[in-house]
Amino acid sequence: MNRYLKNFLQRGLMFAGFGPIVLGIIFFVLEKTLDDFNANGEQILLGIVSTYLLAFVQAGASVFNQIEHWSLPKSLFCHFGMLYVTYVLCYVINSWIPFEWAVIAIFTAIFVVAYFIIWFTVYFIVKATGKKLNATLE
């Protein structure tokens, strides 16, 4: 088995369980804060399965950044694309956002901004840490 696929599956399986935990916390908060919140068994099951898969993909997709022979833009595009598609499908399937082009466009804009803020933050932290380590080694 390809080592990257194996890493993807291992990471996904290690962290996928956090998705349903987050869903449980969200449902708990909604129940405590909204008078009319109600979730039926179908919604709960769909939420558990979809957030499990969302967390699986989120954790597994980090492998794209470790494929040495890929350029940074290629790995960034694959990581971004996989996460974007997974998030949109999860949100639409669970009816957390309606399947309307205007809403998906707004979601896309928010996703792009949040993704790149997080990506650049991590990038600069890793770069600064690398410089510190190199300075220490010299």
pTM of the entire structure?
0.80
Q: Where are the domains of the chain?
A: 3-96, 99-138
pLDDT at 10: 86
Give the residue ranges of the chain where pLDDT is below 50: none
Summarize pLDDT for 111-120 with one digit per residue, the tens. Answer: 999 999 999 9
pLDDT in tens, 14-38: 888 888 898 889 889 988 998 888 8
* pLDDT score for 1: 63
Ordered DSSP codes for 38-94: ---HHHHHHHHHHHHHHHHHHHHGGGGGG-TTS-HHHHHHHHHHHHHHHHHHHHHHT
pLDDT reported for residue 38: 85
